[in-house]
Each structure stands twice: as structure tokens, then as C-alpha cells.
């Protein structure tokens, strides 16, 4: 059996994912508050507001405090001359080998939450699908993108 990949994501990715989770949870809390207000106005059963409040608390704990750390611990990648090895997943572990010969293009991207922590994601496109290595330091993401591009170009020359 193949050993797990050795490279991890940037430790700052935990904070970026917590911030992203807080953004999405704020939408859930706004919906919970709106339902509570509507329930009060229209005299709906009070258990609806309590159930949404409990769901919101559990979701916030899970999304902001637990998942980012678990996700960071499980995410790994490694670059070889012939392939890219990606491993991720919390409940279901996914191990993917992307052959260099299949790489069509490779990009880096950066949203506002990743930009705050000077992180970027590397997106690897093949004919069938797209693979992403999230939350690397900007310089590491650029170096990885350039290295994959160089290795993929060599593979195309061999064909």
C-alpha cells in the first residue's frame, strides 16, 4: 500500500476556513432570527424557534470550531514526476492520483478569505474533472503551479 502524501496545507488555512464558516453561519443565524420574529408575530408554536436555535448552535460549533481542524489534519498532497497524489476527507477518505499526462492546465485562485491570510488554491484540470489543493501559501501555490505545468509539458513532449 502506498504511503500517505507528505505535504500539508498552510497552517493559516484553519483560520481561513473558520472565517469562511463564520460567514456562512451568519446567514443561518439571520434566518433563525427571522423565523423567530415571524413566529412571534404570527403566533406560531414556539418549538420551531427553539429547534432552529439548537440547530444553529450545533452547526456553528461544527462549522467553525471542529471541521477546519479536522480538514487540515486530513488534507495531504505530494508531487511526483509522473503524478500528483492528493488525499483528503474526514469521514470518507479520498486518495487521488492525477497522471501528469492528463493535466490540461493548472491555475491558482484566491478568494477574499484566502487573500486575508495570503493563501491561494491550486486547481488542476484534466479532460474529465478538476482537482483542487486548497489553502497553500501564495508563494508555495505559485511554485507548485509552475512545477506541475513544467512536468505536464515534459509529459506532452514524450507523447
Q: pLDDT tens digits for 13-55?
A: 999 999 999 999 999 999 999 999 998 899 888 888 889 999 9
Write down the pLDDT at residue 121: 97
Q: What is the pLDDT of residues 104-143, one digit of tens each?
A: 999 999 999 999 999 999 999 999 899 999 999 999 999 9
Which has the closest alpha carbon to 77: 85, 67, 69, 88? 85
> What CA–CA distances, in Å, run from 145 to 2, 39, 132, 151, 152?
24, 52, 11, 10, 10
pLDDT in tens, 5-15: 999 999 999 99
* Residue whose cell numbers read 507528505: 6
pLDDT of residue 90: 92
The confidence band for 159, taking pLDDT boundaries of 50, 70 and 90, is very low
123: which strand partners?
107, 132
Amino acid at each position: 500500500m502506498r504511503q500517505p502524501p507528505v505535504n500539508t496545507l498552510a497552517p493559516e488555512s484553519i483560520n481561513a476556513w473558520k472565517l469562511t464558516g463564520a460567514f456562512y453561519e451568519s446567514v443561518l443565524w439571520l434566518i433563525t432570527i427571522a423565523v423567530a420574529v415571524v413566529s412571534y408575530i404570527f403566533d406560531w408554536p414556539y418549538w420551531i424557534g427553539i429547534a432552529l436555535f439548537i440547530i444553529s448552535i450545533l452547526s456553528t460549533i461544527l462549522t467553525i470550531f471542529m471541521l477546519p481542524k479536522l480538514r487540515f489534519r486530513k488534507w495531504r498532497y505530494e508531487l511526483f514526476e509522473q503524478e500528483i497524489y492528493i488525499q483528503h476527507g474526514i469521514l470518507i477518505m479520498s486518495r487521488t492520483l492525477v497522471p501528469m499526462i492528463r493535466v490540461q492546465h493548472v491555475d491558482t485562485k484566491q478568494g477574499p478569505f484566502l487573500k486575508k491570510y495570503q493563501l491561494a488554491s491550486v486547481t488542476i484540470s484534466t479532460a474529465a474533472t478538476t482537482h483542487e489543493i486548497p489553502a497553500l501559501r501564495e508563494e508555495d501555490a505559485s511554485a507548485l503551479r509552475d512545477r506541475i505545468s513544467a512536468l505536464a509539458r515534459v509529459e506532452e513532449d514524450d507523447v
